[in-house]
Structure 1
């Protein structure tokens, strides 16, 4: 890593947590230049839900490249885009009785969020957007304004306005319903609460620490949006594309967002692709009013179509993810229970799971020991206090078990570092 360490900007992040040069990867396994192999509990921060170098997508992409088909098209028509939209309608929208217009805002999740925020303000003619504590929606200025993390907000260099933070589900504990708090603010004419254009939320906050909103809370937030003429934007960039089990994380709640943002594993292959789904009557954009040079990634259209056709024409993947997720949570709770020195809470949905460690520094130490032992896992939460377990959705049962064994060893090593190992079974 001589050139990376010498020449890449100090802003680099993950290479500090995983200080090795990766060379090849397949499924849930990665290899580095020194011949070490790692089990992946990271999945490219959710961009590789189907693992590395999936055979079906790789074959489709290679065939497309070899045919000299269109690579870059902005938002001109290409066969790759036409086929993707047709597949998305047939595989995703029709079975779920969804009606949305598709906007390709640019290559990344933050582009999708920026488009959603701009459109909500344009539709409602109001500038304020409500967001939630511990939210993460992206690093461009509009998305950053609705992000909670103070260190990320601090990097903006300018004031971040036209957005108001609210307490997320169970932010104050299980005995207080923060949706009721919002209702009081909206209905009290002396609250000083300016009427917003929209609410943006994640059903499971990933970077915020795997904070899970209940279905009842989500339904109440949706009802408030309807009652008070606000749009509901669901950011499903990390929680979506099967990460919690169903294709969209909000499906179990029964809510119908006005706008949905998806990216990360949408392409299926780690290629940049983002999508903003818009309720048809809200699509009041003028031609070219929101655009971007790389909003027509034909290679990503090809791999995404292959992924949707291969994985989402039935519910086998969803059921598998839910079953694996239950096993992971059971194992993590057993690890916590057997170690009195490990004060931690396990939470999540599907294969979007976190272990919230109460002692400062323990989660980071677990992550460091995971890497040393051959397991890739990251931390999240306001103080990097939550170890995230996010393996590829297609991980084999054997490698899932092996990875959890390594995680248990890492927990013991971290507790040993902190003098908390007593009582481990």
Structure 2
């Protein structure tokens, strides 16, 4: 029998957080509970409330909370007094991860990459990718895309489209142009062709780029999907114009769209790939920049980070690759679950015609309800019923499902039933007003 959400209504005492923590916090404002435990797809609060987690740490927990195989690997390593922090020293934990990455992920896909261990978050991986592209090409300009999100440090933030995030920089964000993403102007405008035309025109004002940086599926930007054909065209454009192609797989990677890498469906081999979020398997901080061997032009120590040697993350990452990715069984399960999610979301959207649209791909899907206010009402109502879910998009108009890839069909069906009822509740006033 499937567990059911069991939210609590009484707000916890959050005076310590209000007194000590910065106002910059956001998730805790929409979900004001004191969480104490988590297992699989469930989180619990201090009052015994139980919540179905369809956020997964914003895709940092693709294998759910405290997966027993990964947890045991970490506990065994800690119990053996394994090295915790190692800068970039050689350790058995790092060797185990690199060997598993090569044999289980890269070699079967015909990929030959050097691995660069950056600071612990996705934005660190993007910063390293940008610096390397500029170093290798001798160019400064980078092409990013509308609605893209790549991180909050200055280089990655310059490539991010969101005005609210960019506004926190305090300095000009330069050397980046934001070209239209696939479908930005609708289905009849080929934005790849527009980019080719601009780069081929010496009077367009668009500088030759060091890199073209793109997400195969834009998570924070509203679940906008780059078609395989469009990605192949962008890869070709980058090559012909001497730019390096950087695929940001930080949110869409590690199986979120079905394949380990979201770019696999396009049949391309990027010059540089950035990974983070679910790379460690357990939400431990871990980011990685992969690139073709001939691009490895760094001088020793030219780019580093104190926490680039998180051995606990190496252990759980290796265990995740070994347990989930050595054969195709898990991949097939994720793709089947993604199809089920899409079916459920289509049923939720169906009564509203063009007012509600399905967006995304695989286990990275959601519904565009056309209004940030309505989307907030849906997610707030869902949380009140014990479902953790968030919004995305330029106006926060997309209700985004990022359930753990390990969720059962019954658990997912439970979440979708609650989401459907919350959507009906939020959409009813708008439909009533339209009818009048």
Residue 30, structure 1, aligned to residue 43, structure 2: yes
**Per-residue deviation, 1:19:** 0.9
**Per-residue deviation, 1:421:** 6.1
Given candidates 240, 253, 263, the residue that maps to 2:266 is 253
Range with greater deviation from structure 2 (318-327 or 175-184): 318-327
8 Å CA contact 2:150, 2:160 repeated in 1: yes
| Separation of aligned partners in 2, 1:37 and 1:343 | 32
Given candidates 379, 401, 424, the residue that maps to 2:391 is 379
What residue in structure 1 maps to residue 146 of structure 2?
133
Residue 283, structure 1, aligned to residue 296, structure 2: yes
Residue 407, structure 1, aligned to residue 419, structure 2: yes
8 Å CA contact 1:245, 1:319 repeated in 2: yes
| Separation of aligned partners in 2, 1:405 and 1:325 | 16
What residue in structure 2 maps to residue 74 of structure 1?
87
Number of equivalent positions: 422
Given candidates 356, 369, 377, the residue that maps to 1:357 is 369
What residue in structure 1 maps to residue 8 of structure 2?
none
| Separation of aligned partners in 2, 1:177 and 1:43 | 34
| Separation of aligned partners in 2, 1:5 and 1:35 | 23
| Separation of aligned partners in 1, 2:433 and 2:281 | 43
SS of residue matched to 1:420: helix
Range with greater deviation from structure 2 (30-39 or 279-288): 30-39
| Separation of aligned partners in 2, 1:360 and 1:375 | 18
8 Å CA contact 2:345, 2:366 repeated in 1: no
**Per-residue deviation, 1:56:** 0.3
Structure 1 residues 137-159: Cα deviation after superposition (integer angstroms, max 9, x where no partner)? 00000000000000000000000
SS of residue matched to 2:187: coil
What is the CA RMSD across the aligned residues, in angstroms? 1.4
Given candidates 191, 207, 212, the residue that maps to 1:178 is 191
8 Å CA contact 1:343, 1:359 repeated in 2: no
8 Å CA contact 2:97, 2:317 repeated in 1: yes
**Per-residue deviation, 1:2:** 2.0
SS of residue matched to 2:107: helix
| Separation of aligned partners in 1, 2:409 and 2:345 | 16
SS of residue matched to 2:411: helix
Structure 1 residues 172-226: Cα deviation after superposition (integer angstroms, max 9, x where no partner)? 0000000000011011121122111110000000000000000000000000111
8 Å CA contact 2:64, 2:405 repeated in 1: yes
8 Å CA contact 2:223, 2:360 repeated in 1: yes
> What are structure 2's unaligned runs of at least 5 residues?
1-13
What residue in structure 1 maps to residue 313 of structure 2?
300
- How is 1:130-279 mapped onto 2 (pairs within 5 angstroms)? 130-279=143-292
8 Å CA contact 2:338, 2:361 repeated in 1: yes
**Per-residue deviation, 1:325:** 1.3
**Per-residue deviation, 1:397:** 1.2
| Separation of aligned partners in 2, 1:388 and 1:274 | 23
**Per-residue deviation, 1:339:** 3.9
**Per-residue deviation, 1:69:** 1.1
What residue in structure 2 maps to residue 420 of structure 1?
431
What residue in structure 2 maps to residue 343 of structure 1?
355
TM-score normalised according to structure 1 size: 0.97
| Separation of aligned partners in 2, 1:228 and 1:149 | 27
| Separation of aligned partners in 1, 2:213 and 2:304 | 21
Given candidates 117, 121, 126, the residue that maps to 1:108 is 121
Residue 4, structure 1, aligned to residue 6, structure 2: no
SS of residue matched to 1:284: coil
| Separation of aligned partners in 1, 2:294 and 2:432 | 58
Residue 54, structure 1, aligned to residue 70, structure 2: no
Residue 398, structure 1, aligned to residue 423, structure 2: no
SS of residue matched to 2:431: coil
> What are structure 1's unaligned runs of at least 5 residues?
none
Structure 1 residues 259-313: Cα deviation after superposition (integer angstroms, max 9, x where no partner)? 0000000000000000000110000000000001000000000000000000001
8 Å CA contact 2:123, 2:156 repeated in 1: yes
Range with greater deviation from structure 2 (208-217 or 331-340): 331-340
SS of residue matched to 2:115: strand
| Separation of aligned partners in 1, 2:355 and 2:207 | 41
Pair 1:321–1:422, CA change in 2 (3 A): farther
| Separation of aligned partners in 1, 2:41 and 2:305 | 33
TM-score normalised according to structure 2 size: 0.95
**Per-residue deviation, 1:422:** 8.8
